[in-house]
Structure 1
Amino acid sequence: MSMKSTVPSAQPDQFVHDHLPPPEQWPELRFDRPELEMPAQVNAVQALFQRAQQAGHAGRPLLRSDERTLSYAQAQSEVNRIANVLTVDLGLVPGNRVLLRGGNSVAMALAWLATVQAGLVAVATMPLLRAKELAAIIAKAQPAAALCDVKLQDELKAALAADAATAGLKLLVFNTGGAEVPHSLEKMAARQCEHSTPCPTAATDIALLAFTSGTTGTPKAAVHTHRDVLAACETWPRHVLRATPDDIVMGSPPLAFTFGLGGLLVFPMWAGASVYFPSIPYTPEAMVQLIGRVGATICYTAPTFYRQMAAFAQQHGIGKLRISVSAGEGLPDATRQLWKQATGLEMLDGIGATEMFHIFISSPPESVRRGAIGRVVPGYEARVVGEDGQELPRGQVGKLAVIGPTGCKYLDEPRQTQYVKAGWNYPGDAFSQDADGYFFYQARTDDMIITAGYNVAGPEVEAALLQHPAVAECGVVGRPDDERGQVVLAYVVLKPGEAAGAPLVKALQDHVKQTLAPYKYPRDVVFVSQLPRTETGKLQRFALRQQAMQTPSRNPTT
């Protein structure tokens, strides 16, 4: 069943609407569960606040930090004030884009909520982006205003100065800590009324542009509507996460990343829970200590971080933590077992996509099958298909295709037809599915290494290497080879005290040969001090592939 809004757009600025793909390239959206039936006119932020109020949560905490805690009612008042700054002081109109730049903080969360409640389009950006990267986003999104953490304004100002077209863009800073700063969002908001009428957006009006994290190269802008945000709440959070109003949520993914936006803001609001934002950058040890101090019950981070946290969790304990969510990249079984041994908790794994907003394959801890990510989340349908788009027999490796209440619509992007085919979304992952419906991740489809006629999944070799006691992190890609087409190349970060050299290379190769089919072992091993990762913690295999093109063979074939 497809659901179409009969309510006209409330966004007079139609820039994003006008730069969507042609309708024939859109994904099919399905709303075939009762909880996915939504009104044609709905504002996602208004709906989330109303849900909390109707459930009696107005006085319960929503946003926490070491400096302040805001209840749902207090947060709504602050959101209203900021929305009035945007629409009254700045004169923005619904559909205008607002660039948001900041780390995870109460102020950043309020800015996002206010932007979307006002019918504006939130364009949140990763805190570590530099001027050149910000300039590319600004050129694509064409924002009318920017809200920026005061500590992060230099790169943004440099990006704006480089483009004469941005001369009229209005920039306000936040998190000023009471300092006398001109154009402070906090000072302007304090002068505004605490009441504001949410924009009566159509369900299909635009809520946000989510720029992909760049694991495959040039970031793309995924468009999500108000209905997308609410539909995401009614799928994975309802059926798998099952958070409660007593939960305190924390984690490392940035709010600019849809994994973080859902996990650390939208989904806690839907559940009536609260979320804690730290005042210091997370390190593995600091996160474990804060879990105990804050009383956090749900944690979100990437597999690499959990692997680094395990020793500290064993040392300090994990307090009241009951759910640890892993997503953002494939979860090696070695990391799952390491975390379980350290904490007693079974990891809640899942795979999602910026283009789909959040997780669509997952399993709650009580339904985990070793080695599998899980089963399809209620509300979605997923298949493993061949090149012709037809479903493959169970057990065979093919491309993942997904359909449900959310889907990919890129902003002004020729790669739309690579992602959506015949209404189905193709996230770019290779999977197999067993007879019970469990999905087993193999690799990104561009991470498949074809060597001497064999298909080798890079993440599978990484998982094997991670089981060796000398290996802290690793990334596996294919290196072009005249004789074999490609050879398996492993970039390895060693644990402290381990000696790089030919004996360890052979030990790692032998270890993989004993763990996997022998043809999958890395013929080349390169020891490095660190791996290229996105700000969200994902391994950038495309960067390793580029590096591999320049990497001569360092090890004799054994």
Structure 2
Amino acid sequence: MSPASPRNMSDYEAVRRSFQWERPEHFNFTTDVIDRYAAERPESLALLWSDEAGRERRFTFAELKQRSLHAAQFLSSLGIRRGDRVFILMPRVPEWWFVVLGCIRAGIVFMPGTPMLTPKDIRYRLSASDAQAVISEASCLDRFEGLVGNGRVENWVAVGEAPAPWVRYEPGSGTGAHGSSFGPTRAEDPMLIYFTSGTTGMPKMVLHTQASYGLGHQITGRYWLDLTPEDRHLTLSDTGWAKCAWGKLFGPWSQGACNVVYDFRGRFDAAKVLKMLERQKVTTFCAPPTAWRALVLQDLSQFDLSSIRHAVSAGEPLNPEVIDSWKKATGLHIREGYGQTETVMVVGMFPSLEPRVGSMGKPSPGFTVAVIDEHGQEVPTGQEGDIAVRVAPERPVGLFQGYLGDEAANQACRRGDWYVTGDRAVQDADGYLWFVGRADDVIKTSGYRVGPFEVESALLEHAAVAESAVIGVADERIGQRIKAFVVLAPGHTPSPELAMELQEHVKRITAPYKYPREIEFVTELPKTVSGKIRRAELRGALKPA
């Protein structure tokens, strides 16, 4: 297999020079993009869904339009109005996409959550966001135990059978529906809220407008994923993560590509994924490093991957050995990229660039990205600093509106004319950026962001724990593993059995991916004079002398 030439960016520098953001007064991804493809290419395949059992469902752009119209009308019939906030928690079922497109069409602000969340996680999100409605699926209703009817949520909607007060969502075709009942949305109207973990406190609310992701992800879809209407694209992500918006919603559909969805509920099975890539003739493929590491351990010669022309990775740096193994088997270089929940793709190893193993690439068209110091000045080539995006005098479209209700966080991420991402990097003489690590204590594990405060809070709910501190430890397989340092309460003694009990405790009361894989019992924790935990000192103690 030989790599195909790039289709959308044959000259990186030329595209960078000529690129200009669209800045319309009004924009709506469903009406301006999905409905346009429904008119131009109504029978083209838009969504190709399959699951581990081999079941398959297919939907054209015309059907997407119809079903999103139905969803918008259904939600409106319940009294959910433009600007209302709806928390959505579903597995990878087609109805997730119909409901999300319906929300966008009607100007309803949707807030995705992963099915791995626990009732405690969900309670916080519903309260912090002042959600007016919840939409879920029958298999996820246990996540709402103790929450239904006990808060300010007015509407509980379920796909599939559900007891009262849940209202069953009937996924009708929407035939005969008209979009004229939903007026145009302004480009700066709120569209989407994600919850993202930070170093202190509970997850922050990241607000995106109709334009920031709906228009902004043309960068992701066109230039990094290199998509065209002839492509079948698969991104491995569940519906609760921003990566889903990147590669399973705005990225592929902004380019009219077919969105391939693989619905698996259990552990990641690399062999099944490879068979699915072969069966569905996927042409472009994005996976996190944890998945890539598992995929290349398979005998790739046993699978027909000849349909794949482009492969990418994001979330954390990818091991050179993995890139080399995939290239030997397929002839394709896994191209890395960098962005955040707060942004679209801001740095990428675009197909027209000479790949450099270990680098995340060069700045995206439409973005000025630099490595800066604590004073907001660009550092010399080869010197480590903070990754920053210029937001003045002109703010890029593909950037979030801000952190809702958290002015301190909004101030903290601004440094002069720059938005500071919180990540550190080095830029070489040729303009390639090389990731160094987080500037703060957020842990990146198996592609998920975990704030230490969340895990520490969960541990403190156990009677045996007096204090706790959590850090990330480098791990070749999952990027970072979560390690907890625990000071026990009087009357409790360290033991392997207690460590396992604490791990199971965290799994029960918060999302399972947040549990500490390693627990070390200590008599005290290093702290500043003001009483703050010095996590940097804990990390430093783990480094070899």
TM-score bracket for the superposition, by shorter chain length? 0.7 to 0.9
**Structure 1: gaps spanning 5 or more residues:** 1-30, 450-457, 467-471, 481-528
> Does 202-211 or 292-301 show the bigger shift?
292-301
Extract unaligned runs of 5+ from structure 2.
1-15, 50-54, 391-395, 444-470, 486-502, 526-537
Measured at CA, do residues 313 and 125 of structure 1 come closer, stay the same or move farther in structure 2, by a change above 3 Å?
Answer: farther
RMSD: 3.8
- In 1, distance between residues paired with 2:58 and 2:518? 42
Cross-structure match for 1:410: 403
For 2:92, the aligned partner's letter is: N
Superposed displacement of residue 557, structure 1: 7.4
**Residue 516 of structure 1: aligned partner:** none
8 Å contact from structure 1 (residues 36, 234) kept in 2: no
Aligned CA distance change for structure 1 residues 277 and 557 (closer, same or farther; 3 Å): closer
> In structure 2, what is the Cα distance between the partners aligned to 1:246 and 1:553?
50
Helix, strand or coil: the match of 2:112? strand
Query: Any idea what SS the aligned residue of 2:41 has?
Result: coil
The amino acid of 2:326's aligned partner reads W
> How many angstroms apart in 1 are the aligned matches of 2:300 and 2:43?
36
* Alpha-carbon distance in 2 for matches of 1:364, 1:261: 19
Per-residue CA deviations over 1:122-155 (Å, capped at 9, x if unaligned) read: 1111111000000111011111111101110121
Q: Name the counterpart of 1:498.
A: none
Question: 228-237 or 114-123, which moves further after superposition?
Answer: 228-237
Shift of 1:540: 6.9
Whether 2:413 is the aligned partner of 1:419: answer yes
Whether contact under 8 Å (2:387, 2:425) holds in the other structure is yes
Q: Distance in 2 between matches of 1:555 and 1:204?
A: 46
Aligned: 1:300 with 2:283:
no
* 1:152 counterpart residue number: 140
In structure 2, the partner of 1:8 is none
From the superposition, tell whether residues 122 and 342 of structure 1 become closer, same or farther in structure 2 (CA, over 3 Å): same
Tell me what 2:425 maps to: 431
Q: Is the 8 A contact 1:325 1:348 kept in 2?
A: yes
Structure 1 equivalent of residue 455 of structure 2: none
The within-5 A match list for 1:398-477 is 398-403=385-390, 404-408=396-400, 409-413=402-406, 414-446=408-440, 462=474, 466=476, 472-473=477-478, 475=480
Q: 1:227 to 1:258 in 2, by over 3 A?
A: same
Structure 1 partner of 2:339:
352
Counterpart contact for 1:401–1:424, Cα < 8 Å: yes
Q: What secondary structure does 1:117 align onto?
A: helix
Confirm or deny that 1:113 pairs with 2:101: yes
- Note closer, same or farther for the CA distance 1:544–1:401 as it changes in structure 2 (3 Å cut): farther
User: How is 1:41-190 mapped onto 2 (pairs within 5 angstroms)?
Assistant: 41-53=26-38, 56-65=40-49, 66-87=55-76, 89-161=77-149, 163-166=150-153, 169-175=154-160, 183-186=167-170, 189=172
Quote the offset at 1:437 in angstroms: 0.6
Using the size of structure 2 for normalisation, the TM-score is 0.74
The alpha carbon displacement at 1:539 in A equals 8.8
Which of 306, 322, 331 in structure 1 is aligned with 2:318?
Answer: 331
Distance of 2:214 and 2:142 partners within structure 1: 35
Deviations 1:269-321 (A, max 9, x none): 11111112224334222211111111111222210110101122615322412
Q: 1:118, CA displacement in angstroms?
A: 0.5
Question: CA 1:284/1:216 → structure 2, altered by over 3 Å: closer, same or farther?
Answer: farther
| Structure-1 separation of matches of 2:148 and 2:165 | 19
The answer as to 2:326 corresponding to 1:343 is: no
Give aligned-pair identity as a percent: 24
Q: Which amino acid aligns with 1:349?
A: E
1:388 to 363, 375, 397: 375
Q: What SS is found at the alignment partner of 1:415? A: helix
> C-alpha distance in 2, partners of 1:38/1:448?
33
Distance 2:481 2:174 in 1: 55
Secondary structure, aligned partner of 2:147? helix
Deviation at 1:478, TM superposition (A): 10
For 1:546 and 1:230, locate their aligned partners in 2 and report how far apart those are by CA, in whole Å. Answer: 45
Deviation digits for residues 398-440 of structure 1, max 9, x if unmatched? 1111133233401111312122233421111110001111000
Deviation at 1:116, TM superposition (A): 1.1
Letter in 1 for 2:412: Q
Match for residue 208 of structure 1?
A: 192
User: Equivalent residue of 1:158, what SS?
Assistant: coil
Counterpart of 1:284 in structure 2: which amino acid? A
Shift in Å, 1:365: 4.1
SS of 2:158's partner is strand
- CA distance 1:375–1:217, shift in 2 (3 Å): farther
Contact 1:307/1:335 (<8 A) preserved: yes
- Contact 2:34 2:64 (8 Å CA) reproduced: no
TM-score normalised per structure 1: 0.72
Amino acid of the structure 1 residue aligned with 2:91:
G
Q: Indicate the SS of the match to 2:434.
A: strand
Structure 1 residues 36, 419: CA separation in 2 closer, same or farther (over 3 Å shift)?
A: same
Contact 2:381-2:428 within 8 A present in 1 as well: yes
Q: 1:246 to 1:417 in 2, by over 3 A?
A: same
Per-residue CA distance 1:226-281 (angstroms, 9 max, x = gap): 11123323323222322011211223212322211121111211111111222433
CA separation of 1:217/1:438 partners in 2, compared to 1, >3 Å: closer, same or farther?
Answer: farther
- Distance in 1, matches of 2:109 and 2:68, equals 15
Tell me the distance in 2 between the aligned counterparts of 1:141 and 1:397: 37
**Which residue is equivalent to 1:195?**
178
Alpha-carbon distance, 1:115 to partner = 0.7
Residue 39 of structure 1, CA deviation: 1.7
Alpha-carbon distance in structure 1 between the residues aligned to 2:168 and 2:175? 13
CA shift for structure 1 position 160 = 3.5
Corresponding residue number in structure 2 for 1:252:
236
The equivalent residue for 2:452 is none
- Give the structure with the higher percent helix: 1
| Greater Cα shift, 419-428 or 436-445 | 419-428
Q: Does the 8 Å contact 2:388/2:420 carry over to 1?
A: yes
Matched, 1:273 2:262: no
Cα distance 1:381–1:75, how it changes in 2: closer, same or farther (>3 A)? same
Residue identity matched to 1:61? L
Q: Secondary structure at the match of 1:139?
A: helix
Deviation at 1:446, TM superposition (A): 2.7
SS of aligned partner of 2:276: helix
Contact conserved, 1:336 with 1:347, CA < 8 A, in 2?
Answer: yes
CA deviations over 1:495-554 (Å, ceiling 9, x no partner): xxxxxxxxxxxxxxxxxxxxxxxxxxxxxxxxxx99x99xxx999799979989889999
Q: Are residues 147 and 478 of structure 1, via their aligned partners in 2, closer, same or farther at CA, if it must alter by over 3 Å?
A: closer
Q: 2 CA distance for matches of 1:436 and 1:553?
A: 32
1:287 aligns with 2:292: no
Letter in 1 for 2:367: Y
Q: Is the 8 A contact 1:249 1:298 kept in 2?
A: yes
Equivalent pair of 2:156/2:166 in contact (CA under 8 Å): no
